[in-house]
Amino acid sequence: MLSKETQEKLFPTLKKYFGYDTFREQQQEIIESVLSKKDNLVIMPTGGGKSMCFQLPSLLFEGITLVISPLIALMKDQVDGMNANGISADFYNSSQEKSEQLAIFDKVIRKEIKLLYVAPESLQLLENILNETHVSCIAIDEAHCISSWGHDFRPSYQQLGFLKKILPNTPIIALTATADKATRQDIIQQLNITNATQFLSSFDRANIELEVRPGNDRIVQVLKFIREKPEESGIIYCLSRKSTEQLASKLQQNGIKAASYHAGLSFEVRTQTQEDFIYDKTQVVCATVAFGMGIDKSNVRWVIHYNMPKNIEGYYQEIGRSGRDGIESKALLFHSYSDVIQLRKFTEGASNKEVQIAKLERMKQFSEATTCRRKILLSYFGELLAKNCGNCDVCKNPPEFFNGTVIAQKALSVITRLKEKEGAGLVIDVLRGAHNAMVIDRGYDKLKSHGIGKDISWRDWQQYIIQLTNQGYCEIAFHKNNALQLTNFSKKVLFENEIVSLTRPVEIKEQVKAQKGATTKKPKKDTLFERLRKLRQEISLAENIPAYLVFNDATLKEMERARPMCESDLLEISGVGQRKLEVYGEDFIAEIVSFSNEKIDKRKKNDTHKVTFELYKEGLTIDEIAKKRNLKPTTIFSHLAKLFTDGEDIDIYNFVTKEEVETVRKAQDKLENPPALKPYFEYLNEKMEYFKIRLALTIIDKES
């Protein structure tokens, strides 16, 4: 049991060091269990908030907490994060100089460190320290690495069993995002923590919006997607090293700060790329799956799968790298037939080929689903979602079914005519009546069914054929050059008039012209969030810590909403703890105050227009309004011009004639649109009054 004294410290510690007011699901129970010195196994999805489960207890324990972590990059990041929160933490690994290591030893012995991150291979070196200092808790991060069942086995993890032997009374907390039973069992056995309490959190990451699109014109779609989010960090996963490079260079050509990342690059290049991404210097990383493991960056706002992943585990882990801060983020998956074929090829020769193919099949089903995608994902992990999620493309845009029997009959009869020997591409060519070399060589243009599907576009046929295969009306013979073949169900459609339901293919609006090479970006909005983000970026550069460790996006969003203008209000914001208040508080408050003042000034200006408008509507003349408001008539005219531009009902031609507008228009052409009024005034021989010129220009501007 936890002492009352410790119990009472939980929330104040959470607020003081992390700035949060509430625990996330299960965190409190886990922390209480750790503090009661029990062993624990924690399974939580990526971004679920695992670190808190050992970081917070470390502050309440007498001695040091050891954190075993496999990735050096991840260690540094976590330590930076801890330090930013005012917690003394450090790391110890083989990348450090001997002198650095000794300095850390010293700090440990002098009890100046609460949390020490260690790579498993460096642990033996620390053994003597373990005897000299009091280790209060051992956290084993990425604990699945211990299991050869897992997808990320690391031999150095297998020695960790010795910890329980030499420190039998020190609680161990093992944490991972990998859920399956065999791995869980293995972790417990190997760590000798058979009495561990297991905590299984929900795998739902409701803040990630899920979307699947057909993979046509991917590059165009990707460019449009990124342009709509000019400041947001994202990762694009590709199947091959080459495609990461091609895609990154394409994005660069379009003015996007992008880089590629894959195992073929040197260690230095990879580290630099990762760091530039963490520090928001690179917006987009095009990567093979290798990227992201060691990254805790909480403000990754989106993940795109340029190619289909091999299985749902991989997909879920990768999309989990977005939105760790819990605010809206997006996962977009491109689904293409050729990817499936490619991925099947990869399974050839694998010892567990059957398993791999089955997993790929589930992935394919997910991509082609016509029901809530999150339900499918969670059910894959053994979780039942009671309601549709409302945050996936299927929920947002439920498919429209229609009677597609004739379409199916046309496709199946062409497959029959082609003797079940040709792949989808040629089947569609024949349906559409193409006269290309292949069609003519093989005499398919002579077939009666050549061109029976002319009325349907190539793209739509592709979609329909995918749907027909999904529903079992035809199948792909992977071992025979991916030829489309008939099934038992085909006959029902061809000869028994079985009704086939199809859904309308998704329209890709991005098709419209002009995308090639166009670099127009959405202009940045002048919002408080943008200003705070900029301030955060400046601090990040000055202090050399990643921007999201200054404050995460969720915290900035809340500042934008609540607009705290004094220290005590700022401290109320989730994510603002004691140290961050002291170090960054003043800057952020100043930014919020100055932003708010600007807005008030702007509003005042708008208000003065409104007063003029009210008087105008009452029927007062310009001179009367000016007199009443103690302003110059020219000022009132400028108000009217503004009101007119804003679409208010102003009879502008009462003050300037159509002819005068034309005169000004001509002057504008001649003068090549000068920025001031004076050139007009002079050009028109000083005969037209300034206010008329202004009104005429307002009209011309609005018309264009």
Q: Which CB sits closer to Zn ion, 374 or 531? A: 374
Answer for which of 321, 374, 450, 639 binds Zn ion (CB under 5 A) is 374
With CB under 5 to 8 Å by kind, the binding choice for 285 among ligand ADP, Zn ion, none is: none
With CB under 5 to 8 Å by kind, the binding choice for 324 among ligand ADP, Zn ion, none is: ligand ADP
| Min dist. Cβ of residue 387 to Zn ion (A) | 9
Q: Which CB sits closer to ligand ADP, 50 or 301? A: 50
With CB under 5 to 8 Å by kind, the binding choice for 698 among ligand ADP, Zn ion, none is: none
Q: Which of 30, 22, 44 is nearest to 324 (CA)?
A: 44
With CB under 5 to 8 Å by kind, the binding choice for 660 among Zn ion, ligand ADP, none is: none
Q: Which CB sits closer to ligand ADP, 411 or 547? A: 547
Contact 388, 372 (CB under 8 A): yes
| Min dist. Cβ of residue 320 to ligand ADP (A) | 8
Bridge partners for 503 per DSSP: 401
CA–CA dist 286, 243 (Å, integer) = 8
- Options 301-309, 390-398, 561-569, 585-593: segment touching Zn ion (CB under 5 A): 390-398
With CB under 5 to 8 Å by kind, the binding choice for 462 among Zn ion, ligand ADP, none is: none
If one counts every other C-beta atom within 10 angstroms of the C-beta of residue 684, the result is 17
What is the distance of C-alpha 550 from the center of its chain?
19
Site for Zn ion in 395-434 (CB under 5 A): 395
Q: Which CB sits closer to ligand ADP, 321 or 359? A: 321
Q: Does 330 bind Zn ion (CB under 5 A)?
A: no
With CB under 5 to 8 Å by kind, the binding choice for 413 among Zn ion, ligand ADP, none is: none
Q: Which CB sits closer to ligand ADP, 2 or 293? A: 293
Size of the site for Zn ion (CB under 5 A): 6
CA–CA dist 290, 267 (Å, integer) = 13
Answer for which of 113, 392, 424, 697 binds Zn ion (CB under 5 A) is 392
Q: Which CB sits closer to ligand ADP, 318 or 422? A: 318
What distances in angstroms separate CA 45 from CA 14, 50, 70, one per listed residue?
21, 8, 18
Q: Which of 276, 334, 343, 280 is nearest to 311 (CA)?
A: 343
With CB under 5 to 8 Å by kind, the binding choice for 325 among Zn ion, ligand ADP, none is: ligand ADP
With CB under 5 to 8 Å by kind, the binding choice for 46 among Zn ion, ligand ADP, none is: ligand ADP
Contact 32, 52 (CB under 8 A): no
Q: Which of 333, 345, 307, 445 is nearest to 392 (CA)?
A: 333
Vertex 75 angle, CA 74 and 76, to 5°: 95
Q: Does 235 bind Zn ion (CB under 5 A)?
A: no
| Min dist. Cβ of residue 163 to ligand ADP (A) | 21
Does residue 288 sit in helix, strand or coil?
coil
| Min dist. Cβ of residue 175 to ligand ADP (A) | 7
Q: Which of 184, 176, 185 is nearest to 203 (CA)?
A: 176
CA–CA dist 607, 456 (Å, integer) = 57
Contact 339, 313 (CB under 8 A): no
Answer for which of 389, 465, 622, 699 binds Zn ion (CB under 5 A) is 389
Q: Does 372 bind Zn ion (CB under 5 A)?
A: yes
CA–CA dist 195, 184 (Å, integer) = 13
With CB under 5 to 8 Å by kind, the binding choice for 374 among Zn ion, ligand ADP, none is: Zn ion
Dihedral of CA atoms 634, 640, 646, 647 in degrees, nearest 10, equals -150
- End-to-end CA gap in the chain: 75
φ and ψ of 323, to 5 deg: 65, 35
| Min dist. Cβ of residue 22 to ligand ADP (A) | 6
| Min dist. Cβ of residue 505 to ligand ADP (A) | 37
Largest CA distance in the chain: 99
Q: Which CB sits closer to ligand ADP, 494 or 583? A: 583
Handedness of CA 623, 628, 633, 639 (dihedral sign): negative
Q: Which of 700, 668, 703 is nearest to 684 (CA)?
A: 668
> Per the structure block, which two tokens stand in for 328?
């809206």
With CB under 5 to 8 Å by kind, the binding choice for 48 among ligand ADP, Zn ion, none is: ligand ADP
| Min dist. Cβ of residue 384 to ligand ADP (A) | 22
Give the residues lining the site for ligand ADP (CB under 6 A): 20, 23-24, 27, 44, 46-52, 296, 298, 324-325, 552
| Min dist. Cβ of residue 192 to ligand ADP (A) | 24
What distances in angstroms separate CA 172 from CA 9, 37, 193, one per listed residue?
21, 8, 8
Q: Which CB sits closer to ligand ADP, 315 or 334? A: 315
CA–CA dist 372, 388 (Å, integer) = 6
With CB under 5 to 8 Å by kind, the binding choice for 449 among ligand ADP, Zn ion, none is: none
Q: Which of 536, 542, 546 is nearest to 73 (CA)?
A: 546
| Min dist. Cβ of residue 99 to Zn ion (A) | 55
CA–CA dist 314, 380 (Å, integer) = 12
- Options 296-304, 366-374, 582-590, 646-654: segment touching Zn ion (CB under 5 A): 366-374
| Min dist. Cβ of residue 679 to ligand ADP (A) | 56
Q: Which CB sits closer to ligand ADP, 23 or 655? A: 23
Q: Which CB sits closer to Zn ion, 390 or 472? A: 390
> Per the structure block, which two tokens stand in for 504?
């309308």
Q: Does 310 bind Zn ion (CB under 5 A)?
A: no
> Per the structure block, which two tokens stand in for 440?
């003519």
With CB under 5 to 8 Å by kind, the binding choice for 184 among ligand ADP, Zn ion, none is: none
| Min dist. Cβ of residue 303 to Zn ion (A) | 17
> Per the structure block, which two tokens stand in for 464?
């329909």
| Min dist. Cβ of residue 374 to Zn ion (A) | 5
Bridge partners for 285 per DSSP: 235, 259
Q: Which CB sits closer to ligand ADP, 77 or 245? A: 77
Handedness of CA 563, 566, 567, 568 (dihedral sign): negative
Q: Listing from the earlier edge strand, what are the strands of the sheet with 197-200? A: 89-92, 115-118, 64-68, 135-140, 172-176, 40-43, 197-200
DSSP 177: S
| Min dist. Cβ of residue 552 to ligand ADP (A) | 5
Q: Which CB sits closer to ligand ADP, 23 or 473? A: 23
Q: Which CB sits closer to Zn ion, 388 or 635? A: 388
Q: Which CB sits closer to ligand ADP, 207 or 503? A: 207
Name the site residues for Zn ion (rule: CB under 5 A): 372, 374, 388-389, 392, 395
